[in-house]
Amino acid sequence: MKHRLAALAAMLALPTTALAQNYTPPPLEAFGSMPLFSNVRISPGGGRVFALARPADAKDYRFVVFENTPQELSPIFSVEQSDEVRFRRPFWKRDDKIIFSIASSGKRYGTETVETRLFSLTPKSGKSTPLFTLNTRSARLDQQTDVPIQIQDDFVSILPNDPKNVLLEYYDEGLNSVYRVYIDDDRSHTRMLRGKEGIDDWSADGLGNIRSGRGVLYNKSIKLIVRMPDDSWKDISYRVEEGAPSFYFLGFPHDRTKAYVASSHETETEALYLYDIPSDSFIERIFHTPTSDVYDIIQQRSDGDVLGVTFAEDDGDVHWLGESFVRDVIEKVKGALPGMDVTLVNLNLTDTASTFFIEQGNIPGQYILFDHTANRLTALPSQYQALEGVPMGQTFSTMYTARDGLEIPAYVTLPPWLSSLEEAQGVPFIVLPHGGPNARTFTGFDWEVQYLVSRGYGVLEMNFRGSSGFGQQFQRAGDRQWGQAMQDDITDGAKWLIDQGYTSASNIAIMGHSYGGYAALMGAVKTPELYQCAVAHAPVTDLPRLIRYESQFIGGKYWTRRIGRLWGDRNMLQENSPALRAEDFGIPVLILHGDNDRVVNIEQSETMAARLKRANKDHKYVVLPNGSHYLDVGDNRLTFLLEADAFLKDCLGH
């Protein structure tokens, strides 16, 4: 570890002129490979570790269980996932038992779906046991349809104090009910709570007591209920009705009269409050920052009291409410790794060991295992081993003003040989709006951004209106603004680059994924004079079709109202659908889409490509085989980079 830190310090000390003269871009494979590990977790006793691991020579991730000794991690079980079947949500339940699920594609009533199947695994023997089977009546089939339960891994609680059971929620007899599920065989599930109309998400405290339910009622309004101390249910849906301040349960102490709530009833960004359930009132404001919504809380296992609050500015951060065991563990690791950004990933169930992720600026990070008892750190290899020692581009936090005066937070990342914004003059730029759109951009290593800057491009990312984390008003400013004010924010960012002298209109491309891909295509429609070309992966292209598609799913009609109403907003939706404006495209376009995407249906890109072809517009359409929405299957990430690299070189001449 000391050697790695010294290498990082030496690399960061290199003068930019030396970097510019000596820099050789890494091969695309260095960025196009998947991270080495994910889901790294330590067993309750600390003697084993599991992870999803993908070495450079592997075709896909492998589910690997290691024996964890002071000398080494040695694999004792390994199985590879496939393009069709993906591992999900693994966690240790006991030293001899791991719970995990697999996801695959399916179709119900003519609608493409994601299907999940839940298992328990005994690592020593390699035996896996399905926790849903068709051998008995109870909890094996949806009793209304006589087909297997579709989503089997929606956990309400892992029941950390119960070594033999977990709590799951799933639809049965038309309602989303909660079941206690035995993990050692496929015996009948025990229903702990019968579902209620309109509730599709149940929450529990650390003891497994079900405390609240939330959902969409008749596709018209949000329903929110909370459990009273006498076990009756109180409807407090008025707190989440349209136009009300935001209100979310973030967690529950063991005291059944209290809850922890994120709300914006007093502040622009969401603050954390202690809430009294019987009186339906706020007791005290625990934490607030004007620059970010609160995201989550860290709770004490013994009583559920809140220890820390997570929020985000340029990156994630924690506000601690006092001294605690969890804080001490984190501070101990930080002390051992000065200068590194340290994030706690997971504490094992006995609080004897933990998993951390460390990084420094835009340098690719790595996982660290910490044995609390032995006070021992074990570093796993870097997530991107082919990028070890390679200089990364620096990211600068900034702000620009949209045309209506709204301040837009943004990040500019420059090629590795440029160390300040003042040096960025005439740089070719990629405008890269994020997906979602109710998401946000953070700093830290990003494989796509670093690939782009390694090729000499600057990258502008912005948190346009509609992005999450900046308060309810900022997010709601994006309602029914697809292709309009949200697009204007992106356009104004590109113009800001030009006004600052960083680049010129003849030197900019726009690129994005999902909603970001939609924005790239709308840039090609609305402001082709501003960009030389557009790259869109898994884009939405036809808003009316998207709304009709999402309306097939629970709550879909309600949530898509923030995009628009099929009839009432029909003209607006058509005007802001790239597939319905193929004649207006004025620049070359590259479109890529996975043929197994269950988030944005590939029909969106198929329609776009067909209409561009009919309109005789310059475009290329690439289908990613077995591809999901996330460039995480097979070599699809590398294929994406190879296609984008050639396309950008051709259109920007760089």
Q: Compute CA distances 550 → 58, 546, 587, whole Å.
A: 36, 6, 30
Looking up residue 590, the CATH number of its domain turns out to be 3.40.50.1820
Residues 6 or more apart from 482 whose CB is under 8 A from it? 437, 515, 518, 543, 563, 564, 576
Euclidean distance between CA atoms 498 and 429, whole angstroms:
10
Q: Report whether the peptide linkage leading into residue 290 is cis, meaning its omega lies within 30 degrees of zero.
A: no
Indicate left, alpha or beta for 524 from its phi (over 0: left) and psi (-120 to 50: alpha). Answer: alpha
Query: Three-state DSSP class for 608?
Result: helix
Whole-number pLDDT of residue 185:
80
In single-letter form, the type of residue at position 190 comes to T
Higher pLDDT pick, 559 / 211: 211
Query: CA distances (Å), 264 to each of 47, 386, 620, in order?
Result: 44, 45, 45
What is the C-alpha separation between 365 and 362, in angstroms, rounded? 8
**Single residue among 151, 166, 195 that ends a domain in this structure:** 195
Is 10's pLDDT higher than 50?
no
Mind spelling out the 3-state secondary structure of 571-600? HHHHHCCHHHCHHHCCCCEEEEEECCCCCC
Write down which residue in 160, 179, 195 finishes a domain.
Answer: 195
Nearby residues of 136 by Cβ (< 8 Å), 6 or more positions away: 186, 187, 188
CB 436 within 8 A of CB 442: no
CA atoms within 13 A on the CB side of 227: 18
Compute CA distances 86 → 101, 104, 130, 158, whole Å.
8, 7, 16, 21
Say if residue 520 is in the same domain as residue 547: no
Q: What is the CA radius of gyration of the chain?
A: 25
Pairing of strands 247-251, 363-371: unpaired
Question: Which of 490, 652, 517 lies closest to 591 in space, CA to CA?
Answer: 517
Whether the Cβ atoms of residue 276 and residue 260 lie closer than 8 Å to each other: no
Strand locations in 109-200 (E):
111-122, 127-130, 155-157, 165-172, 175-182, 190-193
Q: Distance between CA 266 and CA 247 in Å, rounded?
A: 11
Planar angle of CA 592, 596, 598, nearest 5 degrees:
100
Residue 131 placed within a domain: yes
CA dihedral 158, 159, 160, 164 (to 10 degrees): -100
Please report whether residue 205 resides in a domain: no
Q: Identify whether 190 is part of a domain.
A: yes
Task: Convert the pLDDT of each residue in 410-447 to its tens digit.
Answer: 999 999 999 999 999 999 999 999 999 999 998 889 99
pLDDT at site 563: 94
Let me know: does 281 contact 275? Beta carbons within 8 Å.
yes
Query: Are 622 and 501 within one domain?
Result: yes
148-167 pLDDT, tens digit each: 899 999 999 999 999 999 99
For the chain, the domain total comes to 3
The reply to whether 324 falls in a domain is no
Residues 299 and 398: their CA atoms lie apart, in Å, by 34
Least confident of 186-190, 307-311, 394-398, 581-585: 186-190
> Do 556 and 615 reside in the same domain of the chain?
no
pLDDT value, residue 23: 82
488 shares a domain with 628: yes
Q: Is residue 536 part of a domain?
A: yes
Query: Which residues span the domain enclosing 126?
Result: 94-195
Q: Does some domain include residue 291?
A: no
pLDDT at 19: 57
pLDDT at 553: 83
Secondary structure of 46-108 in HEC code, one letter for each residue: CCEEEEEECCCCCCCCEEEEEEECCCCEEEEEEEECCCCCEEEEEEEEECCEEEEEEEEEEEE
Half-sphere exposure of 330 (CA within 13 A, CB side): 21
Q: Using the predicted structure, report yes or no on whether residue 293 has a pLDDT greater than 60.
A: yes
> Is 594 found in the same domain as 535?
yes
Considering the domain architecture, whether residues 496 and 626 belong to the same structural domain is answered as: yes
Identify the pLDDT of residue 162. 95
Residues 514 and 556 in one domain: no
Q: How far apart are the first and last CA of the chain?
A: 38
Do 500 and 422 meet the contact criterion of CB atoms below 8 Å apart? no
Q: How confident is the model at residue 143 (pLDDT cuts 50, 70, 90)?
A: low
Verify that 488 and 584 share a domain, yes or no.
yes
Residue 511, domain member (yes or no): yes
Domain match, 494 and 430 both: yes
Supply the pLDDT for residue 543: 96
Write the CB contacts of 512 (distance below 8 Å, at least 6 apart in sequence): 432, 433, 434, 435, 518, 519, 520, 535, 536, 537, 539
Query: Of the candidates 195, 215, 237, which is a domain's last residue?
Result: 195
pLDDT at 6: 40
pLDDT at 140: 53
Q: Which residues pair with 320 in a beta bridge?
A: 308
> Which pLDDT tens digit goes with each residue over 227-275?
999 999 999 999 999 999 999 999 999 999 999 999 999 999 999 999 9
* Three-state secondary-structure class, residue 293: coil
Its pTM stands at 0.92
Do 427 and 549 have their domain in common?
no
Structural tokens at position 307? 């220890």
Tell me whether residue 72 is in a domain: no
Segment 95-105 mean pLDDT: 94
- pLDDT of 13 strictly over 50: no
Return the SS3 of 457: coil
Residue 14 pLDDT: 45
Q: How far is CA 32 from the centre of its chain?
A: 19
Q: Do 507 and 569 share a domain, yes or no?
A: no
In 197-315, the DSSP E strands lie at 201-204, 210-217, 221-227, 233-235, 247-251, 258-263, 271-276, 281-287, 294-299, 306-312
Which residues, other chains included, contact 291 with Cβ-Cβ below 8 Å and sequence gap of 6+? 269, 313
- Got the DSSP string for 336-379? HSTT-EEEEEEE-TTSSEEEEEEEETTEEEEEEEEETTTTEEEE
177 and 129 fall within a common domain: yes
Q: How many CB atoms lie within 10 A of CB 460?
A: 24
Q: 30 with 43: CB under 8 angstroms?
A: no
Asked if residue 379 lies in contact with residue 49, where contact means CB atoms within 8 angstroms, the answer is no
469 with 611: CB under 8 angstroms?
no
pLDDT at position 146, please? 64
Q: What pLDDT, in 10s, does the model give residues 198-208?
A: 999 999 999 99
pLDDT at position 511 is 98
